[in-house]
Amino acid sequence: MALDPSFLEYPLRRYGMDHERYAWSMLTERRPVAWPGGRKLALWVNVSLQHFPLNPAGKPVALPGNMSMPYPDLRHYTLRDYGNRVGIYRFLKAFDRYGIRPTFAINARLAERYPSLIGAIAERGDEIIGHSWSMDTAHAGGLEEAAEAELIKRSLDCLRARTGREIRGWLSPGRLESAHTPDLLKAEGVSYFCDWVNDEMPYRFNTQHGDLWAMPLSAEIEDRFLIVDNFHAEASWAEQVKDACDMLLEEAKTQGGRILSLSIHPWVLGQPHRIKHLEAVLEYLSGKEEVWSASAGEILDAFLRQPAL
């Protein structure tokens, strides 16, 4: 019994990363960042608006939150759709009440299916970013490059046409990527993406067509991950966000501006028994003078305006 000899070879054991996508860099080694108005913590509230088809192909992989019962899985289809019909309007009311500037990641197929919802979002003037075609279009290893190029182009073209907005950001469903995703996004005019959870500040990501910016959208504190996957109580999610805010504000006193990113879903937190916990969080965060609520693109722009970056 023995493993193939390649299992004991380490060709990429070298300084830095074991790939060429970005440079190794510790957060604390970087120049401190100052946010507009002297504020310390940029708050990025990212709302994913999603379409889960009733008949998913699940290729090359099934995405989180998908249909899991035999066809037709009405319970999961309609529970996801609830977010787009009911939950999102609770979100919007809460954002307006607490002066939050959200960012919306939208499946293009949803924009096509629900023009009135997308019209209402576009009218608000909030930033919109790409979120692929649907929750059945995983960008993952096994997806042919040409098919992925078409998928990205179709999604961005549709979202740009339906919203009349420039789309410069992207969040891949389930944060999955193929080996080509960053290159294809850059080729389609995307300037930042939010899939990699390895940092808390923006950093440069290499592609064949020039640099993308990687924006740090935490997955560990996401509502779906904590409440749906980990079975944490709603109140615990809220407590965790407050703890994160306090910790980052403390760190910002000595290390410069930080980002608190909250990825949320109207089909999770938009439920009647959960919405008050989102509201409590937004009340807590908006009550702090050091917190700057901004869209992902605004945060990136402020980051890029820093002297001698």
> Which residues are near another protein by CB under 8 A?
1-4, 6-8, 10, 12-19, 24-29, 60-61, 140-142, 174-179, 195-200, 218-221, 229-233, 236, 239-241, 243-248, 251, 260
Nearer to another protein, 161 or 233 (CB): 233
Q: Closer CB to another protein, residue 92 or residue 248? A: 248
Question: Quick one: 14 or 273, whose CB is closer to another protein?
Answer: 14
Query: CB atoms < 10 A from the CB of 115, how many?
Result: 12
Least distance (Å) between residue 61 CB and another protein: 7
- Give the nearer residue to another protein in terms of CB position, either 25 or 286: 25
Min dist. Cβ of residue 233 to another protein (A) = 7
CB of 113 to another protein, least distance (A): 28
User: Which parts of 86-207 fold into alpha helices (H)?
Assistant: 88-98, 108-113, 115-124, 145-163, 181-187
CA distances from 253 to 41, 43, 140, 168, 289 (A): 10, 16, 40, 31, 14
Minimum CB separation of residue 216 from another protein in Å reads 9
Closer residue to another protein (CB): 24 or 287: 24
Nearer to another protein, 129 or 138 (CB): 138
Which position has the token pair 């959200």?
Answer: 102
Other CB atoms within 10 A of residue 270 CB: 24
Closer by beta carbon to another protein, 220 or else 289 = 220
- CB of residue 181 to another protein, shortest distance in Å: 9
* CB of residue 199 to another protein, shortest distance in Å: 6
Q: Is the dihedral of CA 191, 39, 224, 51 positive or negative?
A: negative
CA–CA distance, 66 with 135 (Å, rounded to integer): 7
d(CA 195, CA 180): 13
Cα–Cα distance, 253 to 282 (Å, whole number): 22
Nearer to another protein, 112 or 199 (CB): 199
Give how far Cα 212 sits from Cα of 85, 132, 172, 183, 204, Å. 34, 17, 14, 9, 6
Q: What long-range pairs does 219-226 form, CB within 8 A, spacing at least 24?
A: 219/175, 219/263, 221/262, 221/263, 222/262, 222/263, 222/264, 223/262, 223/263, 223/264, 223/265, 223/268, 223/269, 224/64, 224/65, 224/263, 224/265, 224/268
CB of 277 to another protein, least distance (A): 13
What is the nearest approach in angstroms of another protein to the Cβ of residue 16?
6
